[in-house]
Chains A and B, each alone.
Chain A
Amino acid sequence: MADPMKIRASLKGDVADIRVMMSHPMENGQRKDSAGNTIPHHFIQQIWVEVGGKMVIQGQTGTSISRNPVFGFKVKGAKAGDKVVIKWRDNKGETRSDEATITA
């Protein structure tokens, strides 16, 4: 199973600052292993962010995103204690979902 994400969500005024780090190789299909074989594509394609029960952000990503991706978002109208749920799905169909609570 995929490794957990690290999600930080803190409130500045009524805006939640959300940072997420994902553990993922984001193989772009262009690198070679030590034997000279091309390492196949393996990358996150979709990301969903939900805050306080509402889907607020949906994203699609390609192979240009760095390994172990980091994303930052801002969501207005959030409250301390609101739950942030983030999910990703990669090109192999693997998914991972983690959550955090917005801190004041």
Chain B
Amino acid sequence: MDMFRRSLLKGVSASGALAAALAAGILKPTEVLAADEWNRAAFDSKDAGAALKAIGASSATDSKDIVLTAPEIAENGAVVPITVLSNIPNTISIALLSLKNPLPLAAAFDFSEGAMPEMQVRVRLAETTAVRALVKTADGKFFATQKEVKVTVGGCGG
């Protein structure tokens, strides 16, 4: 995994690092969600299903071991604080989607080298929507949970 250091420290092109990692057998292609190349197909998907498919997660098992903390009512849709914490062993990636946003996939993070499978983010929500947290484990399985967030002032328009 320390192949990736170069992408940060030396500015080596990220895709190069990924290719090297893949070639060296350090990474399997399915191993992480947020590897180097920005996943245009996933982030440009207009519905959550397509976005999930684009990150290889067409199906996921519901899990109570994912702790998704989001306000029941967002003070302002422009800034909704969300925390996702996975208690599922060998979690390597977490993704977050807001199902009713024009482009549902908000973020995907990969964790390694001591990084705990937990992330705090702040997202925009266009309207009242379910937010869905997706977890990927090292053996390529997907788990998910979701929560409804009520939005009174939307955060996407002008």
Contacts and interface: CB of A to CB of B under 8 A. Distances in A.
Interface in A55-97: 55-67, 69-78, 85, 87, 97
Contacts of A49: 115
Given A64-B104, A75-B116, A58 B122 contact: no
A11 to B, nearest CB: 13
A69 B115 contact: no
Contacts of B87: none
Interface in B61-110: 78-81, 83, 98, 101-110
A28 B124 contact: yes
Most interface-central of B98, B101, B112, B122 (chain A CB within 10 A): B122
B118 A31 contact: no
Size band of the A side of the interface? 35 or more
A69 B158 CA distance: 18
Contacts of A31: 157-158
A73 B85 CA distance: 10
Nearest to B122: A66
Interface residues of B, number: 50
A73 B120 contact: yes
Contact of B5 (A45, A50, A78): A50
A95 to B, nearest CB: 9
A20 to B, nearest CB: 10
B30 interface: no
Contact of B38 (A57, A60, A65, A72): A60
B121 to A, nearest CB: 6
A79 B13 CA distance: 29
Interface string A28-62: 10111000000000000111111101111111111
Given A57-B111, A58-B34, A66 B123 contact: yes
A82 to B, nearest CB: 11
A15 interface: yes
B124 A74 contact: no
A48 B33 CA distance: 14
A64 B39 CA distance: 15
B156 interface: yes
Interface in A1-42: 15, 19, 28, 30-32
Contacts of B119: 59, 71-73
Contacts of B23: none
Given A31-B157, A65-B123, 7 more contacts: A47-B109, A55-B7, A58-B32, A70-B81, A71-B120, A76-B115, A85-B9
